[in-house]
Amino acid sequence: MKKLILYVIVFLMSSYSQVLAQTDAHFSQYMFNENTFNPAAIDISNTLNATMLARQQWVGFENAPSTQIVNASTYLQDIYGGVGLNIINDKLGYENFLIARAFYAYPIQTGAISTLTFGLGAGIINRTLDGTNLDYPTDYIGVTDPLAFYGRENFIKPDFNFGTEYKDPNLTLGFAVTHLHYRSAEFASIEKQPMHYYLYGKYRFKNIIEDIDIEPFLLFKSSWFITQFDLNVLAYYDDMIWSGFSYRLGDAISAMVGYQISDYIGIGYAYDYAIGTSRGYSGGSHEIMISTTFEGFNESAITPQTPRIFN
């Protein structure tokens, strides 16, 4: 029964995606990985930062969606900007996306303790669709759909994204567009990804209780024909332990926990309980993240470019 339900869900998603292409992969610990979709989301510091994330969705289903992400970024004083790399592997049934992008982010100091950063990313999308393992029903006279897909196709296309982010010690606001060379969803096809728009904000309320900070995070993502809305609240204890909950409208409720093992490495885990179409048929979704920070990568002082002079 579970397998049948999965096939129905995947069929509906695949049929829709053949007209409008697949949406970007979603994950629960996005608040630690904004530069996956926004090239402007970097730390302006003397560190090299990297995260690795693996997500297994709809546990219990064969060929269920799975996603792996690697992000790395650093600020280079010599070029007055940040550079980074995204690698995303996203698999759904017999369809697979591999995205590799490099990005550059340019920060402008807008206040004594605030910056506005602009980022641009460029890379490739490799999309593979394997129809050799698909079974198609025949009609009442034994004829198979002439549009049925039986082969294996591979498409490689260029990919670009753009973003901007405002940041001060407590507030972060961001906007980003992925696959920006496709102007709207109507141009999407099996070979193309539609544009996705991201709008997010978070605010750090410090020392609500002694050594405890609270940080709500709001994320809005849309490709025009599909829209997602995420609301997340995390609590940090002494910047060492964090936990919280997230609600993805019409899809899932997530519980998250993390621990900063040392100054250089942290781990995070998220569990999603489905409240959407797959509710009652899957064992939920699991997500694990490892973050690393290497100190002293840049020895020179950090001085972002600014159109103003601050005393």
What count of other Cβ atoms lies within 10 Å of the Cβ of residue 130?
15
Establish if 308 belongs to a structural domain: no
Range of the domain at 150: 2-295
Tokens of 239: 């910047």
- Look at residue 305 and tell me if it is in a domain: no
Whole-angstrom distance, CA of residue 4 vs CA of residue 7: 5
Q: Tell me, what's the pLDDT at 223? A: 84
Distance CA 238, CA 216 (A): 17
Average confidence (pLDDT) over 103-128: 94
pLDDT bin (cut points 50, 70, 90) of residue 108 is very high
Determine, yes or no, domain membership for 164: yes
How does pLDDT run across 175-223, given as a tens digit for each residue?
999 998 765 545 445 556 788 999 999 999 999 988 999 999 999 999 8
Most confident range (mean pLDDT) of 45-59, 103-117, 283-297 is 103-117
pLDDT at 308: 41
Whether the pLDDT of residue 75 is over 70: the answer is yes
Question: Given a cut of 70, is residue 92 above it in pLDDT?
Answer: yes
How much is the average pLDDT of 15-22? 41
> What are the pLDDT digits (tens) for 167-177?
999 999 999 99
Q: Give the residue from 248, 200, 252 showing the smallest Cα distance to 228.
A: 248
Average pLDDT of 134-139? 64
> How many residues in total does the chain contain?
311
What pTM, to 2 d.p., does this model score? 0.82
* Closest to 174 (Cα-Cα) out of 71, 46, 36: 36
Q: How far is CA 264 from CA 259, 267, 279, in A?
A: 12, 11, 38
Contacts of 286 (CB under 8 A, 6+ apart): 55, 56, 59, 269, 270, 271, 272
* Band of pLDDT at residue 77, cut at 50, 70 and 90: confident
**Is residue 100 one of the residues assigned to a domain?**
yes
Give percent of the chain above pLDDT 90: 51
Higher-scoring residue by pLDDT: 263, 21: 263
146 burial type by CB count under 10 A (0-12 exposed, 13-18 middle, 19+ buried): exposed
d(C-alpha 122, C-alpha 104), whole Å: 9
Nearest to 270 by CA among 296, 245, 303, 292: 245
| Domain membership flag for residue 174 | yes
**CATH number of the domain that 275 lies in?**
2.40.160.40
Question: For residue 251, what pLDDT is reported?
Answer: 82
What is residue 305's DSSP assignment? Answer: B
Distances (CA, A) of 31 to 79, 118, 123, 226: 27, 18, 23, 21
Q: Is 26 within a domain?
A: yes
Lowest mean pLDDT among 21-25, 70-74, 208-212, 300-304: 300-304
Residues 6+ apart with CB under 8 A from 94: 63, 129, 130, 131, 133, 134
How many CA atoms within 13 Å lie on the side-chain side of 65? Answer: 23
Residue type, 102: A
| Count of domains forming the chain | 1
**Does some domain include residue 158?**
yes
225: in domain: yes
- Is the model's pLDDT at 99 over the cut of 90? yes
Q: Cα angle at 266 between 39 and 164, to 5 degrees? A: 15
The strand ranges marked E within the chain are 47-56, 66-76, 81-92, 95-109, 115-130, 152-167, 171-178, 196-203, 205-209, 212-222, 227-237, 241-248, 252-260, 265-274, 285-295
**In the 8-state DSSP scheme, what is residue 9?**
H
Could you tell me which residues come within 8 angstroms of residue 302 by beta carbon, excluding any fewer than 6 positions away?
44, 45, 46, 75, 77
